[in-house]
Amino acid sequence: MTSPAWLPDLSYTRATHDRAAERRTEPRLVPRLLAEGSTGVVLVHRGRVAVGDDGGLLLLGPDAVADLPSEADGDDAHVGGHRWLFLGEHVGGAGGAFVALVLPDAADTEAVDIEGVDPASPAARLVRGHAWAGLRELGGRDLDALAAEAVALAAWHASHERCPRCGEPTVVEQAGWVRRCLAQDLDIYPRTDPAVIMTVTDDADRLLLGHAAHWPAGRFSTLAGYVEPGEGLEQAVRREVAEETAVVVGDAPGDVEYRGSQPWPFPASLMLGFHARARTTEVRVDGVEVTEARWFTREELLAQVRAGAVGLPGRPSIARALVEEWYGGPLAD
């Protein structure tokens, strides 16, 4: 199963915009962009984004968010609990910029009494006035990469308000792309957690799929796991397959082959897809993370899926793309 091409058209990876990282240090970047009518604003709340009537990512004009201040110390407001982030601009720079407005968790009515947010606040009105969707629902739609960037960066801010070294509060700089510890004169950058995810095939080109303990009955997917500190990707592939199923992946050139990647910001993962060739076929699951693992021929997998006995991972995921790459085409749900 060797294909010269990377996995095609993975959700959240299409280059629909330019991150324009060189602009992040421009003074007062977000307030200036909001003064331009062409800037598109992505609303983020509790890890979801506002969507339009068609279910796709909604881009608001600056007028719609004019009640939410963007002026603060430096560029990057964290004023009144909301936060502004610079996401990039149209490819080539013409056509306007993209910013994210991250609304405070408490800006929905349930949390009003708990956190004291005025239910009539601009943030609360924005939350109540829009439909919201998670990234899984946006996968494959226009601008899904922009939504992934906004959600991922917002999640990083939510968990890094304090310096990981000294515990002091940090300030936001570079339009949301750096948090700075003033006590230690230290810049802290957004982090991404690499994870490997892999199709494993044997000499008969059967596919090894596993069932995780917390999944619904019958669901099977590719094996996966986080890369550990000080570990290479190929090592991580071999270790995860061995830990979860006791199957040994070869260590000859080409036995572990990179296939493509997909951001998976729930909250901070980057899925690195591989195809791995097994040297052994005896399966012995760990019983903790993975409670069942089986080899499938293409005919077996098709029959099991058609019969409803096996459920595959959802369409936007790289897991589904890897399975379908092995299968040789789309598998109907």
Interaction between residue 188 and Zn ion (CB under 5 A): no
Contact 81, 104 (CB under 8 A): yes
- Beta-strand ranges (E) seen in the chain are 40-45, 48-51, 78-79, 82-89, 97-103, 131-133, 171-173, 178-181, 186-188, 193-201, 207-212, 223-226, 256-264, 269-277, 290-296
Kindly state the tokens that stand for 300. Answer: 């077996």
- Which residue is listed with tokens 């199709």? 199
- Minimum Å gap between C-beta 191 and Zn ion is 16
* Residue with smaller CB distance to Zn ion, 178 or 331: 178
Q: Give me 33's structure tokens.
A: 């962009």
- Minimum Å gap between C-beta 167 and Zn ion is 7
Total of residues contacting Zn ion (CB under 5 A):
7
Closer Cβ to Zn ion, 131 or 183, answer by number: 183
Q: E-strand spans in 134-239?
A: 171-173, 178-181, 186-188, 193-201, 207-212, 223-226
What x/- string results for residues 146 through 165 when contact with Zn ion is judged by CB under 5 A?
Answer: -----------------x-x
Contacts of 22 (CB under 8 A, 6+ apart): none
Q: Does 181 bind Zn ion (CB under 5 A)?
A: yes
Of 159 and 280, nearer to Zn ion (C-beta) is 159
Nearest by Cα to 235 from 283, 274, 193? 274
Supply φ then ψ for residue 303, to 5 degrees.
-65, -40
213 binds Zn ion (CB under 5 A): no
Q: Interface residues for Zn ion in 252-311 (CB under 5 A)?
A: none
d(CA 198, CA 224): 6
Binding window for Zn ion (CB under 5 A); candidates: 24-32, 62-70, 182-190, 304-312: 182-190
For the CB of residue 163, give the shortest distance to Zn ion in the complex, in Å. 3
CB of 30 to Zn ion, least distance (A): 25
How many whole angstroms separate alpha carbon 139 and alpha carbon 137?
A: 6
Shortest separation between residue 166's beta carbon and Zn ion, angstroms: 3
Please report how close the Cβ of residue 86 comes to Zn ion at its closest, in angstroms: 24
182 binds Zn ion (CB under 5 A): no
Smallest separation, CB 102 to Zn ion (Å): 23
Question: Of residues 3, 25, 38, 184, which one binds Zn ion by CB under 5 A?
Answer: 184
The closest residue (CB) to Zn ion is 163
CA–CA gap between residue 141 and residue 257 (Å, rounded):
28
For residue 164, which amino acid is it?
A: P
Q: Is 25 or 184 the residue whose CB approaches Zn ion more closely?
A: 184
> Using the rule CB under 5 A, is 166 a contact of Zn ion?
yes
CA 257 – CA 252 distance, rounded (Å)? 11
Minimum distance from residue 224 beta carbon to Zn ion (Å): 33
Residue among 130 and 179 whose Cβ is closer to Zn ion = 179
Give the Cα separation of 244 and 208 in Å (integer). 11
Q: Which is nearer to Zn ion, 165 or 306 (CB)?
A: 165
Residues near Zn ion (CB under 5 A) are 163, 165-166, 168, 181, 183-184
